[in-house]
Amino acid sequence: MSAKSTGKARWRHYNFTTAGPVDDYLYSMLPQRDPVLAEMEEYATQHDVPIVGPAVARVLQQLAMIINARTVFELGSAIGYSTIWWAQAVGETGRVIYTDGDRKNAERARGYFQRAGVTSRITIHTGDALEFLSEQKQEFDVIFNDVDKEDYPRVLRLVPPRLRKGGLFITDNVLWSGRVAEKNSTDARTKAILEFNRKLYDSRDFYTTILPIRDGLAVAVKK
């Protein structure tokens, strides 16, 4: 059943990590978003675009504020919803790299960036995000990972040399609607996330926690 017919936003991940009423309470606490972000949330709801949504986006922006981030590389940007939150966090002199494999997404995102007044802070790259990251010579303050889940272990291998010491490697969907708790899963995406989470916690490069918000957000500080 589509989001349009149920009126529910798939990006909310209702009831997986926080019980329904508590989840509703958390969302009810969020301040109103500006009109462009609100319109994007509505578009994502109507078209089942898997954006992080406002509860997680606020965490992303807060983490960027805490480390005074000025450069963000985002893997998997879709219509640019999380990109705008990063762009607001890095300020006028900051830079955010948007990446997505889908040209239509990038075109839609470009329009939103203009209307949100953040175009000058964002570089749009259409194509494979992992390939583009592997070409980067600079160290970023934040690398945000939201690509196809099978690629998560490969992303983890690419990140350490491209993140500054004290920088944040942040990954969405690491609880995968609770499927990480299933015994002996044979699903390729679940297995990739399990491998990713294990390796991230075991890595000597990072100090990691998983925040059980929405679909699970892994926050790893580069040592």
Ligand X SMILES: C[S@@+](CC[C@H](N)C(=O)[O-])C[C@H]1O[C@@H](n2cnc3c(N)ncnc32)[C@H](O)[C@@H]1O
* Cα–Cα dist 28/31, whole Å: 8
Please report where in the chains the tokens 């969405």 appear, as a residue. 172
Task: Determine if 148 is a binding residue for ligand X (CB under 6 A).
Answer: yes
Nearer to ligand X, 71 or 77 (CB): 77
* Cα–Cα dist 74/87, whole Å: 11
CA geometry: angle at 40 spanning 87 and 46, to 5°? 155
Residue 44 neighbours by CB under 8 Å, 6+ apart: 9, 11, 50, 51, 53, 79, 81
Candidate list 96, 106, 147, 170; residue touching ligand X; CB under 6 A: 147
Cβ at position 204, least distance to ligand X in Å: 26
Question: Could you tell me the sign of the dihedral formed by the alpha carbons of 39, 11, 85, 128, in that order?
Answer: negative
CB of 27 within 8 A of CB of 12?
yes
Mask for 43-72, x = binds ligand X (CB under 6 A)? -------xxx--------------------
Cβ at position 77, least distance to ligand X in Å: 5
Candidate list 130, 142, 168, 217; residue touching ligand X; CB under 6 A: 130
Task: Determine if 24 is a binding residue for ligand X (CB under 6 A).
Answer: no
Q: Which stretch binds ligand X (CB under 6 A): 26-34, 98-106, 191-199, 213-221?
A: 98-106
Residues forming contacts to ligand X in the complex (CB under 6 A) are 50-52, 76-78, 81-82, 99-102, 105, 128-130, 146-148, 151
